[in-house]
Amino acid sequence: MINVLKIVVACFVFCTGIYAHEGHNHQHPSTTTTTTQNNGQTTNHDNTLNNSQDHSTHDHSTHSHQGHDLAAHTDCGHDSHSEFKADETAFHHISDLNVYSIGPWNFPLPCILYSKDQGWSFFSSSKFDIDNHHHGSGNKAVDRYALNMGRVMRIIDASFPMGEVSVQGFTTAETEVDGKKKEINYVCANGQKYELEKTSSVDGGLFGGGFTSFYDFSITKNVFAMLLVIGFMSILFLGMASAYRRKPSTAPTGSQKLFEPIILFLQDEVAKPFIGAKYERFMPLLLAIFFFILSLNLFGQIPFFGGANVTGNLAVTMVLAIIVFIVVNLNGNKHYWEHILWMPGIPAWVKTLITPIEILGVFIKPVTLMLRLFANITAGHIVIIIFISLIFIFGKAGAEPGAAYGASVASVLLALFISAIELLVAFIQAYVFTLLTASYIGAATEEHHHPEKNHH
Amino acid sequence: MTGSIVAIGMGLAAIGAGIGVGTIGGKALEAIARQPEAIGDIRANMILTAALVEGAALIAILMAFLVK
């Protein structure tokens, strides 16, 4: 109980820390843009020291007003921070980035970019001169690539100079293209606005990106997290495998004690009942899928550790589902294909109805596998971020500190509660993915005896 | 997001999944109460069915996000 209290207090302290950090963010653009205003007020501040409380609130309101005015005039301010938007924050935090941020620190990652007219570009994302106060936007553009909110985007305009160019900021404008509202990002450099392409990624395309003129093969945050987890798991599992080989008949020790029951559970409760006699062939696949998903789910759950949302990325779950799709259909026996293409034991006219549905079912199975894992993990991350966002929603992004402190108590408790549920979901989703894989393989390799034929 | 019909769709999807998963959980508990020795089989099948039902709801919610 005392430990739980300690965790709650630690989370509370940390969240108020974030709150202070965000508040700083909010004021940062206006302090840089309205220096004259600041100077005037500083002298004013010296004269009336005992009026400082009134003064600071007044100070804030004029600041935000000034910032807004400036953004409206040139379309080139840091207007993304003038108002807190919970959905944008959530989508930013669940998306893949070209920089690994832990708290205020940004760790650069290698960028590997390709475009038809420019060829390959290799450089570290530290070349973008990442800003610590704006969620990893770059202060520089490199070879017509810019880092907007931690993601590499390409500047469409061919007149933009190559090499390193310092940029003033990023803006987003909503315009209507073919009757659809589209958000277009702009980068500001040399006092001018340049249009940016969307990020080049599979899920980026699904969320309104479409195809881009460049390809991003970078070691992104997700890829880095995946490599980290794969390295960790290789050490763990290869060590255990060699321990079993060296001493096959002794009692398990160390990590073997933890993993042997899990592996036996998967063998006895998942593989044997669903696949049947030939289960041993598929055990490596099932175990690999289970532990890969489980460890990445848990890695994404570590608070304040960058929150790499790997299994909540559509591209990752799609590759996993494609592997399952290939394995199931390569191992499908005669009965499996017969049941899909020409279902036995029913009238011919029903067969013509059933066959298209069964063929669709072959593709729908991996699609639901892909979407289930993606949606569960993404939903969990979004819910936690939205609960943390309550602090900023109630605090009006720095305008009402009292409400923010009040909301932080509730939101930390709610986020803690959801985190506990997400821990459960991490295990359940890894289990469900493995279970469904086993049941699809089982359905494809099952030997049918057709007892129902006797009735017809 | 305010005034969007998408929100209603997401709510309906959640209601459907809630009814489905609730029924599955309730029936599984009844079955376990009647036959406690079959808890392993019941649990495995319960989670499998619940995942299938939940999958439909999550696809609906995802679609709601995409058409937003």
Instruction: Give tens-digit pLDDT for A26-35.
Output: 333 333 333 3
Predicted confidence band of residue A211 (pLDDT cuts 50, 70, 90): low
- Is B66 near chain A, with CB under 8 Å? yes
Whether A209 and A232 map to the same domain: the answer is: no
Does the pLDDT value for residue A207 go beyond 80?
A: no
Residues B59, A428: C-beta atoms closer than 8 Å: no
Whether A269 and A412 map to the same domain: the answer is: yes
Whether A53 and A130 map to the same domain: the answer is: no
Whether A290 and A372 map to the same domain: the answer is: yes
Does the pLDDT value for residue A428 go beyond 60?
A: yes
Whether A208 and A228 map to the same domain: the answer is: no
Supply angle C-alpha A188, A192, A197, rounded to 5: 55
Measured CA to CA, the distance from residue B68 to residue A115 in angstroms comes to 31
**DSSP of A282-326:** HHHHHHHHHHHHHHHHHHHHSTTS----STTSHHHHHHHHHHHHH
- Mean of all residue pLDDT scores within chain B: 84
- What confidence score (pLDDT) does residue A30 get? 33
Residues B62, A375: C-beta atoms closer than 8 Å: yes
Whether A238 and A269 map to the same domain: the answer is: yes
Q: Residue A43's domain spans which residues?
A: 2-81
- Is B5 near chain A, with CB under 8 Å? no
Q: Write the pLDDT tens digit of every residue in A281-302.
A: 999 999 999 999 999 999 988 8
- Whether A444 contacts A338, CB under 8 Å: no
Whether A164 and A234 map to the same domain: the answer is: no
- Whether A109 contacts A218, CB under 8 Å: yes
Residues in chain A within 8 Å Cβ distance of B61: 375, 379
- What confidence score (pLDDT) does residue A49 get? 36
Residues A207, B66: C-beta atoms closer than 8 Å: yes
Q: Write the pLDDT tens digit of every residue in A343-359.
A: 888 888 888 888 998 99
Whole-structure pTM over 0.80, yes or no?
Answer: no
Does the pLDDT value for residue A322 go beyond 80?
A: yes
Residues in chain A within 8 Å Cβ distance of B41: 273
User: Is A456 inside a domain boundary?
Assistant: no
Among B44, B48, B61, whose Cβ lies nearest the Cβ of A375?
Answer: B61
Does the pLDDT value for residue B11 go beyond 60?
A: yes
- What confidence score (pLDDT) does residue A58 get? 40
- Is B44 near chain A, with CB under 8 Å? yes
Burial class (CB in 10 A: 0-12, 13-18, 19+), A5: exposed
Candidates B46, B63, B59; CA nearest to B16 is B59
* Interface contacts (A, B; CB < 8 Å): 41
**Helices and strands (DSSP H and E) totals, chain B:** 2, 0
User: Is A92 inside a domain boundary?
Assistant: no
The residue out of A164, A190, A219 marking a domain boundary is A219
Number of domains within chain B: 1
The residue out of A19, A52, A81 marking a domain boundary is A81
- Whether A199 contacts A153, CB under 8 Å: yes
